[in-house]
Structure 1
Amino acid sequence: MKKNRIAILRSFWYLSHKLRRLLSRWALRFLVNRHSVTMLTAMFIGAASAVSVIIFRKTLDLMKMYLLEDGQRLLGVGETLQSRILLPLIPAIGAALLIPLSKRFPGEVNGYTFPKFLARVNVKGGAIGIKTVLLRIIAPSITIGSGGSAGVEGPAAVIGGGIGSIVGRWLGFSEKQRTLFVAAGAAGAIAAIFNAPIAGVMFALEIILLGNYEITSFGALVVSAAIATAISQSYFGNEQVFIVPEHVFTGLSETPIFLLFGAFIGVIAVFFIKIFYKISDVFDSLAINPFLKPVLGGVIVGIVAIFFPQVMGDGYGHITEVLAGRSGVLLCLALVFLKIFATTMTLGSGSAGGVFAPSLFIGAMAGRTFGAASQYVFPNFSSAPEFYAMLGIGAFLSAVTHAPLTGMFLMLEMTQGYKVIIPVMLTTVTGVFVAKTLLKDSIDTFSLSRQGIDLVTGKEINVMESLKVRDIMSKDFITIREIEPIKIVHDLIIAGSGLCFPVVNGQGGLKGVITVDDITRVFSEEYIQQIVTVGELTTEDIPVVTGYDTLRRAFECFSIADLEELPVVNNPLNKGEIIGMLKRGAVVSAYNREIMKRQSD
């Protein structure tokens, strides 16, 4: 029986392998051109991302029903303060349910994992497996379904990106094309979950691809987002997320207030980012079992929810209340900071989820608060507070993520408020400018910067890390003993044997190097060339590399030594046997060849 099963699995793998090769290397390439292949693949990824999002949302709905709604009913939680005393048990139970997943998949479940996803896409080649996709469906559903203060949008983007990565690898596409398909999957997922195709495209361009794209890339993102939105609308309907009343702003005279509001949003965004990672650091330093930290965070969120239940979950219901003008200004002011606290407690302690929904909530509360103050101070020039709440939805998200187009179009599509495009542009751009001025990193790149990861230069670093010194060093070199007269070096240079030579001591170990610059002053004095030894003019204090070092390490050594060649040794600790010479020009050429190869792929 076992042998038969193994034979069946081998046959299945063989057929799958043959089918993949047929699709990726023969059939599609003969039937259509390269761009058509990209578009067809993007269409499939968009459809698959939409289906994944539907499964994600259905899973979340089930968790909300079983954990939050049934849990409140069993505990007798109601509208009164006294009836909510046992409310902290629900998010604590949700956090406890993550423990088996955390033990089985360490490092893959807990906390705000979207920055890791960005690093994997932009620095590590975009390889994302089915395990990551499944975990992003299950873990955030448990956290949010039990009342944790988090959003589904970041996990949804990872789910869609994972779909794109899996499809790209299965069809045998290059690393560059796989990155595009990851972005296409993320665009489709964001478009499907928000019913916002343009925002999905902008999200992929600004956040996933870091603003670097070609016309073909843009087309693939648009196709994926469009297909995903169509499928999502056919299943969930085509209703806008937030229903807002008609607002009329006063015109040009209100422009300074919009700019001031944008600055206000930018300051709060920076506050949110710093508090978010400060609390994460506090939880990291706690001397308790790491699996119990999310439970502690859930209890704290539940305690806050006893008095302010609005902080639980994604908060979309209360955003609708604020946009309709049915929430007091003092409550909104309090919820700005309480939602920040609840979100940082949820994700900072190790529960799973994203920050998009909390950002929309905080932006709406901040906008309602600012709008009320503005209307009080400038009654003749300021629009209704609800209007500023609507602007705050997009402006705060943009400021937190440093992605102005994403927040702008997301707000417009979620509210269908296209008539207010000018105030949205002014507020959003100002908010992003102030946030970037006060803090270089967004909420997605802050933790990566602390680890020394720069997503902008990450791809170049990835190329340098992939190449080794042993692959490009020259094994044809001449060593010179330190006791030899300097004339030997002079003759070798004149004969065209090189401009830099390694110098060895009596035991054959590396002493340093001698270059044409070192002997320039004795070139014209032949009698000095016979008296002075090589060791007297040798440059000894130089960095060395080994054959196993990367090009990145080699670049660093060249910048320190300011030499055109470096010796390659087998033991860098005692500068032992010389096994080759590494030329600066060879390093640059190898790097350029690898870049061109990846681009052509």
Structure 2
Amino acid sequence: MHTSDLRRRVLLLRRWSRLAAQLRGWVRGSEVAVVVLAVLVGGTVGLLAWGMGALAHGLQRLLYDLEPHLRLSAATRLPAWQLLLIPALGGLALAMLNRAIARWRPKAPIDPIEANAMHGGRLSLTDGVVVGAQTVLSNGVGASVGLEAGYTQVGGGIASRLGQAFSLRRGDLRILVGAGTAAAIGAAFDAPLTGAFYAFELVIGTYSIAALFPVVAAAVTAVLVARSLQAGTYIVESAAPSVVDLGTYPLALLIGALCGLAGIAMMRGVGLTEALLVRSIPSATLRLMLGGLAVGGLALISPVALSAGHGALHLAFMTEAPAWPVLALLLVKAASSILSLGSGFRGGLFFASLLIGALGGKLFAGVLALWLPPGPDPLLMAIIGMSAFGTAVIGAPLAMTFLALETTGSLAVAGPVLAAVAVSGLIVRRLFGYSFATWRFHLRGETIRSAHDIGWINDLTVGSVMRREVPTAAATLDLAAFRQRFPLGAATRVVLLDEAGRYAGLVSVPEAHAAPLEGGSLSGLMHLDDRVLLPSMNARVAMAAFEAAEAEAMAVVDGPGRKPIGLVTEAHLLRRYGEEMEKRRREESGIASA
């Protein structure tokens, strides 16, 4: 290669590097640019949601020999051998896939909620591919799980990858991840408002004007792309009355309370089932196969046990049935969902919770019809139950309200639905404290209860705020020598060391100069000999330690060796904590990016 060609290529690379840096700078400093990125994310996620839904339905058609437009949960004439064998073999296939993934990527995937809460929106796109493949396979073989977990994982992963490529600020990256999940749910249910408020309530953790535009742009774009492709993944269609009687509101409140309690029972049931199966069946492969066999056995009672339940939900809205058959369907679907998730199949509980809630609403109407005929409108009760139970499990009351509104197109329904979801959400919050996603985190040992950004608290550690240059002295030093070595004004506090150089306590220099010389010892002036901080402690833990010790300053040691490495004052820690809090507040309000 000639020198002139090499020089030309170097100049071209430098020019492209400058252009890329200018583009990143514009994106980081422009609210409009974040909206543009959200539109790109929405279009991509809408396309992938269509592809994943088509792949899962195609797998069901291939394995169960379904007609093109027939949903698995509504297929009533399947042979018994298919119902028993395919989910069990599907469990075996998923176990083999999991083993291959574990060799390639042993680290557990990070959920978008966890990413926004703990990691500032940093999410791996590879995790999206992993969860997407596991979810499509689980749903395709008939396990009672939904695809929405795969959709949101892929949507969040694409958004995070794109945001990191443009070096977005922490707050903007969290918003873009929320926009990716909004696009996923919007495309899945053909419901942009549902997707947007799912993101606000579950993934971003708060509503702000700064987040509104990118989240809505992504959700609307994804829905338009999915509609143009005629995806129809989880579209819920239902008619509803245009006028609702005032007597419906007390019934809605009662349904909300019952759904809240039932949602808690179901979430605990998943955790207990998983723990029981892990203890009794050590082999993950055997657990998946037996779980698939159990789901197939329930499908012999009714195909409602299979897959997410789209076809069954459509039938639940369109057909009338007595109370006892509805109760049987409800129990079958709840049991199949618990067994699927507890045995290790991958997927979401979003759509299954809608079906269970709708069946619960119809059961409520049927029981009232037996007691006080003719009873309330079963369809209206089904819509209220769907939203209330979805709120109990998913934890997004406004998203469920908008789902009912977008499903029915009736503003009259919104009032009783809002009342029901408020009661359901309040009961779950007060008696349980978790949604299904955060309950799964709790079972893994995480402390996440929402997507509120708490990762910065873990980043603000004692080691990052401590003063490293700390005066030290031997604990055996007499008082006169101490005063001579540390005159007033030279230091405020001195760390005392024992013979082995380990932390022995703190001494206040002004207090040492005010003490009488008669004793001549520092032992009576030592404080906090049994109270220390570790550099890995976060700000919240450190503030609790200050409060417990009733101290203004504490020494930082390196661990079991108790070698002092720094000093932290409560005032400095509180100031740094306040600065970070203000920074997060500015990011959420959009001031930081203005």
1:225 and 2:205 correspond: no
Paired residue type of 2:368: S
In structure 2, list runs of 5 or more residues that go unmatched: 1-8, 68-73
Paired residue type of 2:158: I
1:98 and 2:94 correspond: yes
Paired residue type of 2:507: I
1:535 to 523, 530, 538: 523
Distance 1:61 1:362 in 2: 21
Relative to structure 1, is the Cα distance of residues 383 and 56 closer, same or farther in structure 2, using a 3 angstrom cutoff?
A: same
Task: Please identify, of 439-448 and 591-600, the stretch whose mean Cα deviation from structure 2 is larger.
Answer: 591-600
2:40 to 38, 41, 44: 44
1:258 to 243, 252, 262: 252
Relative to structure 1, is the Cα distance of residues 337 and 479 closer, same or farther in structure 2, using a 3 angstrom cutoff?
A: same
Deviations along 1:249-277, whole A, 9 cap, x unmatched? Answer: 66123322221122121121111111111
Paired residue type of 1:314: A
Relative to structure 1, is the Cα distance of residues 449 and 488 closer, same or farther in structure 2, using a 3 angstrom cutoff?
A: farther
Contact 2:304 2:332 in 1 (8 A): no
1:583 and 2:569 correspond: yes
Deviations along 1:182-210, whole A, 9 cap, x unmatched? Answer: 11111111111111000010100001111
Distance 2:176 2:263 in 1: 30
Deviations along 1:122-173, whole A, 9 cap, x unmatched? Answer: 2123222332222233221211111110111222111111111111112221
Paired residue type of 2:414: I
1:419 and 2:412 correspond: yes
1:500 and 2:493 correspond: yes
Contact 1:546 1:569 in 2 (8 A): yes
Distance 1:341 1:225 in 2: 33
Contact 1:375 1:385 in 2 (8 A): no
Paired residue for 2:272? 278
Contact 2:113 2:450 in 1 (8 A): no
2:19 to 8, 18, 22: 22
Contact 1:372 1:384 in 2 (8 A): no
Relative to structure 1, is the Cα distance of residues 541 and 242 closer, same or farther in structure 2, using a 3 angstrom cutoff?
A: same
Matches within 5 A, 1:384-463: 384-450=377-443, 451-456=445-450, 459-460=453-454, 462-463=455-456
Number of matched pairs: 570
Structure number with the bigger relative contact order (C-alpha 8 A, sep ≥ 6) is: 2
In structure 1, list runs of 5 or more residues that go unmatched: 1-10, 72-76
Matches within 5 A, 1:141-160: 141-160=136-155
Paired residue for 2:365? 371
% identical equivalent positions: 22
1:178 and 2:178 correspond: no
Deviations along 1:270-325, whole A, 9 cap, x unmatched? Answer: 11111111112112223432233211110111011112222111212122222123
* Deviation for aligned residue 1:357: 1.1
Distance 1:28 1:306 in 2: 57
Paired residue type of 2:574: V
* Deviation for aligned residue 1:54: 1.4
Relative to structure 1, is the Cα distance of residues 182 and 21 closer, same or farther in structure 2, using a 3 angstrom cutoff?
A: farther
Contact 1:140 1:155 in 2 (8 A): yes
Instruction: Indicate the SS of the match to 1:567.
Output: strand
Distance 2:336 2:16 in 1: 49
Distance 1:133 1:477 in 2: 47
Paired residue type of 2:517: Q
Task: Please identify, of 437-446 and 217-226, the stretch whose mean Cα deviation from structure 2 is larger.
Answer: 437-446
Distance 1:467 1:303 in 2: 52
Paired residue for 1:197? 192
* Deviation for aligned residue 1:365: 0.6
Distance 1:19 1:276 in 2: 53
Distance 2:105 2:27 in 1: 42
* Deviation for aligned residue 1:499: 3.4
1:247 to 233, 241, 244: 241
Distance 1:552 1:18 in 2: 46
Deviations along 1:562-597, whole A, 9 cap, x unmatched? Answer: 322223345x33434x44333333333444555566
Distance 1:431 1:416 in 2: 23
Contact 1:109 1:352 in 2 (8 A): no
* Deviation for aligned residue 1:505: 3.2
* Deviation for aligned residue 1:358: 0.5
Distance 1:377 1:446 in 2: 37
Distance 1:294 1:109 in 2: 20
Distance 2:17 2:203 in 1: 27
* Deviation for aligned residue 1:480: 3.3
Paired residue for 1:58? 54
* Deviation for aligned residue 1:407: 0.9
Contact 2:202 2:450 in 1 (8 A): no
Contact 2:354 2:389 in 1 (8 A): yes
Matches within 5 A, 1:539-554: 539=527, 541-545=529-533, 551=539, 554=542
* Deviation for aligned residue 1:471: 4.5
